[in-house]
Amino acid sequence: MKNLIYITSVIFGFLYAQNELFIPETMSGNEFNLSLQNGTTQLFDGDATETMGANGGNLGPTLIFEQGEFVNINVTNNIGEETTIHWHGMHISPENDGGPHSVIMPGETWNPNFTVMDKACTMWYHPHLHEKTNEHVTKGITGFIIIRDDEEAALDLPRTYGVDDFPLNLQTKQFDASNQIVIGEHGDNVPMVNSTIDAFVEFPAQVVRLRVLNGSSMRVFNLGFSNNSTFYQIGSDGGLFLEPISMDRLLLAPAERAELLVDLSDMTGESIELKSYGSTLPQSAYGITGLSTMQGVAPSGYNSNELNGNDFILLDINVGAQTDNPILTIPSLLVDVTPIDESEATLTRNLQITAPNMMQNSITGPFVFDGQSFDMNVINQTVQLGDTEIWEIFNMSMVAHPFHIHDVQFYILDRNGVIPPENERGRKDVVLVKNMETVRFIAKFEDHADDEVPYMYHCHMLQHEDEGLMGQFIVEGESVGIDNNITLPNDFVLFPAYPNPFNPTTTIRFKLVTSQQNASLRIYDISGRLVETLLNEKLIAGEHEIKWNGGNNPSGVYFISFETGEFFSNQKIILMK
């Protein structure tokens, strides 16, 4: 990854000038190799800044996944200390999720693999090691995930990456006198987009798609353009909307994503700015002025931060010539969206966000759920696979918290009993819960279960998360498709299929001890659908082998199910074309 070179002007006491927006490279296909590493980046004159990244010293590549495809990922930890990588927003099994239990030791490689089940959307990946998430994310280990599907591909939308479709990771950071990143002191007075300070970019004079991520540790952005022009939100965290929603301001909390369309067709040669209008942030959002005038004392460094309560520029946009075959209109319809009806819920869970000492810590924290700080050894909630639940989050603290849950996309039912605005009615995995507000959302927990490996729920203000505003839940039940547990009787043995992964043929060997046993051998896909019956008959004792040719099936995870009498065994195999 190229270094980001900056020249000089003075803003907020630092020296830099306009710099071309950095656009991360992309990776696509079925195999992804990520090397987490340390690096340095020349952000200012003088000392280089120590940073971290994936496949480079700062930030990570954008991963492009296709719905229904199997992906195999190797994440190698070369940063010299423990970390994890979480695929934020993705509907995957807990052992692939990359939470704080999936620690990657220095020098080791973690190998998650899964079939992409999510709809077309913008997600991201980042570390999730307890008490180190803030540091590792702020120093640069973050990257976008773009998921594509057939439904999105049929729409007349911009989708040429880096030409009319741009990823924008918005952050604010604090630096010390030697240009090093400062963690946890609330002096984050340097805005950055894709780790570029004072960034500029040229967009073509046509409809442009912006995949916007609030990648900040703490700050809430209130986005808009300097000319107050209308833009259109077409999607939120987990997918596209039914139709575009017009607006001139967008509130975006840490970890939230929004897909936007902006029409620049009549602006050739003009310039506008993408700004955060901090002067109009809602009460209790991190970034307002006057936190110390509320109950409690403002966090150290907060009141002297020049960004708080002020409007500031994130990105300078120069409008250039149109591309070939430009998109020139905003579509009227997008995709079908079917929210979960409240009547489908079988259970309502109630969570409260508080500070242990509400009189002294209602603004600074630390904060907790239901009076309990995060404990790696405590399962806080148990969910049954297939259940639809309502989660009710009540924020008793004086600061707004972005609540994030792993595994599922949810639909917001209401805020203090009021139906949410249109752009909060899509699929979400993060919701900003303001002070003294109750937010209710509904989600269905399906496909993945594990009675040992938990999923997380937490505040996505990373300092709050590291300090203990996090809980964990397990999903009990049989996962989609095939039970992965193996019963090993004395009557037979199922040997490992070889090769595995395979393309297109693998050999399945098994041994029967007793003759005239009825044996069945079937192949299922990850959704539990029967793909092929290879065997269903009585056999003599001894070793047997059957070849399966999966050439007519898509790449992905499949399961061998072998049964004889009351005994059975299952085995996962991977078809990789």
Structure-token pair, residue 60: 């990570």
What confidence tens digit (pLDDT) does each residue in 125-155 have?
A: 999 999 999 999 999 999 999 999 999 999 9
529 shares its domain with 565: yes
pLDDT of residue 559: 86
Whole-number Cα distances in Å, 487 to 414, 448, 561: 46, 20, 12
Express as a percent the part of the chain with pLDDT over 70.
92
466 shares its domain with 547: no
Asked if residue 486 has pLDDT above 60, the reply is no
Asked if residue 479 has pLDDT above 80, the reply is no
**238: part of which helix (H) or strand (E)?**
none
451 shares its domain with 379: yes
Distance of alpha carbon 357 from alpha carbon 433, whole angstroms? 20
Residue 271 resides in a domain: no
Whole-number Cα distances in Å, 518 to 152, 237, 252, 360, 511: 47, 50, 60, 70, 13
Residue 160 resides in a domain: no
471 shares its domain with 397: yes
404 shares its domain with 511: no
pLDDT of residue 301: 86
Strands 70-78 and 207-214 turn out to be unpaired
459 shares its domain with 357: yes
Residue 535 resides in a domain: yes
pLDDT of residue 527: 66
Structure-token pair, residue 87: 């695929």
409 shares its domain with 498: no
Whole-number Cα distances in Å, 208 to 23, 145, 363: 15, 19, 39
For the stretch 548-552, contacts whose Cβ atoms lie closer than 8 Å and that sit 24 or more positions apart, written own/partner, are 548/505, 548/506, 548/508, 548/523, 549/504, 549/505, 550/502, 550/503, 550/504, 550/505, 550/506, 550/523, 550/575, 551/504, 551/505
DSSP 8-class letter at 453? E
Asked if residue 5 has pLDDT above 60, the reply is no
pLDDT of residue 576: 83
Distance of alpha carbon 562 from alpha carbon 475, whole angstroms? 26
How many domains in the chain? Answer: 2
Asked if residue 2 has pLDDT above 70, the reply is no
Distance of alpha carbon 74 from alpha carbon 32, whole angstroms? 6
pLDDT of residue 522: 92
Residue 106 resides in a domain: no
What confidence tens digit (pLDDT) does each residue in 234-264 have?
A: 999 999 999 999 999 999 999 999 999 999 9
Domain that holds residue 404: 342-476
pLDDT of residue 296: 58
pLDDT of residue 570: 79
Q: How sure is the predictor about 231, in pLDDT bands with cuts at 50, 70 and 90?
A: very high
Average pLDDT, the chain: 91
DSSP string computed for 159-202: --BTTTEEEEEEEEEEE-TTSPEE-SSS---EEEETTEETEEEE
CATH of the domain at 382: 2.60.40.420
Residue 92 resides in a domain: no
Which position has the higher pLDDT, 539 or 51?
51
415 shares its domain with 524: no
**244: part of which helix (H) or strand (E)?**
strand 239-247
404 shares its domain with 512: no
Residue 375 resides in a domain: yes
Q: How sure is the predictor about 4, in pLDDT bands with cuts at 50, 70 and 90?
A: very low
Whole-number Cα distances in Å, 17 to 23, 93, 433: 18, 45, 37
Asked if residue 222 has pLDDT above 90, the reply is yes
431 shares its domain with 523: no
Residue 153 resides in a domain: no
CATH of the domain at 543: 2.60.40.1930
What confidence tens digit (pLDDT) does each residue in 185-199 have?
A: 999 999 999 999 999
pLDDT of residue 492: 66
pLDDT of residue 428: 99
The torsion region of residue 290 among left (phi > 0), alpha (psi -120 to 50) and beta comes to left
Q: How sure is the predictor about 360, in pLDDT bands with cuts at 50, 70 and 90?
A: low
DSSP string computed for 17-48: --EEPP---EEESSEEEEEEEEEEE--SSSSP
Distance of alpha carbon 9 from alpha carbon 417, whole angstroms? 49
422 shares its domain with 507: no
pLDDT of residue 14: 41
Which position has the higher pLDDT, 112 or 294?
112
Residue 424 resides in a domain: yes
Lowest-confidence pick of 69-83, 262-276, 547-561: 547-561
Asked if residue 298 has pLDDT above 90, the reply is no
Amino acid at 137: V
Which strands, in side-by-side order, build the sheet including 505-512?
492-494, 505-512, 542-549
Largest CA distance in the chain: 85
454 shares its domain with 532: no
Range among 132-136, 502-506, 568-572 rated most confident: 132-136
Asked if residue 313 has pLDDT above 50, the reply is yes
**358: part of which helix (H) or strand (E)?**
helix 358-361
DSSP 8-class letter at 553? S
DSSP 8-class letter at 504? S
pLDDT of residue 363: 79
DSSP string computed for 293-336: GSSS-PPTTTTT-TTTTSEEEEEEEEEE---SS---S--S----
Task: From 445, 476, 507, give the residue that closes a domain.
Answer: 476
Task: From 411, 441, 476, give the residue that closes a domain.
Answer: 476
Asked if residue 572 has pLDDT above 90, the reply is no
Task: From 476, 509, 537, give the residue that closes a domain.
Answer: 476
- Mean pLDDT of the region 424-438: 98
What confidence tens digit (pLDDT) does each residue in 96-107 have?
A: 999 999 999 999
What residues pair up with 472 in beta bridges, in sequence order? Answer: 456
pLDDT of residue 358: 61
pTM for the structure as a whole: 0.82
**7: part of which helix (H) or strand (E)?**
none
pLDDT of residue 361: 63
Distance of alpha carbon 333 from alpha carbon 60, whole angstroms? 33
What confidence tens digit (pLDDT) does each residue in 528-568 have?
A: 778 999 999 888 888 889 999 999 999 888 889 888 865 67
